[in-house]
Amino acid sequence: MQDTVSIIGTGSWGTTLAVALARAGQNVNLWARSREEAAALNARRENVEFLPGIAFPLTVRVTHDMAEAVRGARIVLAVVPSQRFRDNIRLARPHLAPDQIVVSAAKGIELGSLKRMSEVLREELPQIDPAQFVALSGPNLAREIAAGLPASTVAASSDERAAREVQKLTSPLFRIYTHSDVTGVELAGALKNVYAIAAGAADALNVGENAQATLLTRALAEMTRLGVALGANPLTFAGLAGIGDLMCTCHSPHSRNHTLGGRLARGEKLVEIQSGTHMVAEGVTTTRAAAALARAHGIEMPLVEQVHAVLFEDKSPRQAIGDLMGRGAKTEFWGIG
């Protein structure tokens, strides 16, 4: 049995990571928001709300006590929605030690500050060397991993030693690659959710495979443009955290962002969709943040602009497609077109 790993968050992804790591031989502390939630999860040994049908291994222990959850853990993974990430890290801060590795598994950009999750960690955890922060991102549909299907992901850190420590969590069915481009990995993981909304709408409108291929290719060009402007390596977007996650999320009916896009295309309103589900579609808030980042850096991101118009300006997805197809002629090279 290995050292303890702590996971903050009991959503579908946090629960999946807890199950997958425990199956691979780790002791896992899983932090829940309330005493009642922790008691229910420990009693049922299953997350009925977010991951029904998947039993907790014996080495998963759920607690509502943050100190109990994170103290002594070799690696602490924060697996919460990006807009609640800062608040949860603040709860953990008094109980985290300088030698712990803190991993962000949230895929989003904070509204207002427009900061990536590793930047939030830098601000909120001054007692920990930023070299010990790691971003975890890749084509990781929770339900498939929980079901025991093979998958890969990327652990990115400015310090190779920290990334390699997280890589030690690799198991026969969950392969972890290391990476040094934290900016690129985080941006790719966040932005792909925006394009998954567009892909879901396109599927619902039966636009065809040609159009979907165009959407994914131009999405890759857009995220690379923004990433390079923010200091990322363009090759990162050709990897697992980039095109890998983009393809997975844009094609999968299990993606909540893809599902949301389809419902919008069928005439439902955003407020109705959001009020009827307990799951967070990160692409909604990321669309706002990505549009603001693009404007701030003078980066053209027409797909993001059109998704923003559909979500927040009551534009129809069909009209958004028409406007994209009617844009002026461009060269394909991503740095220009």
Dist. CA 22–CA 1, nearest whole Å: 10
Given a contact cutoff of 8 angstroms between Cβ atoms, the answer to whether 113 and 292 are in contact is: no
Amino acid symbol at 299 = I
Supply the DSSP string of 81-140, one letter for each residue: -GGGHHHHHHHHGGG--TT-EEEE----B-TTT--BHHHHHHHH-TTS-GGGEEEEESS-
SS3 content of the chain, % helix, strand, coil (to 5): 55, 15, 35
Integer angstrom CA distances of residue 247 from 212, 306, 335? 10, 20, 21
Rg for the chain, CA atoms, rounded: 19
Q: Is the dihedral of CA 298, 301, 307, 310 positive or negative?
A: positive
Question: What is the set of active-site residues?
Answer: 192
- Where do the DSSP E strands lie in the chain? 4-8, 27-31, 46-47, 51-55, 60-63, 75-78, 101-104, 133-137, 151-156, 174-179
Q: How far apart are CA 242 and CA 223, in angstroms?
A: 9
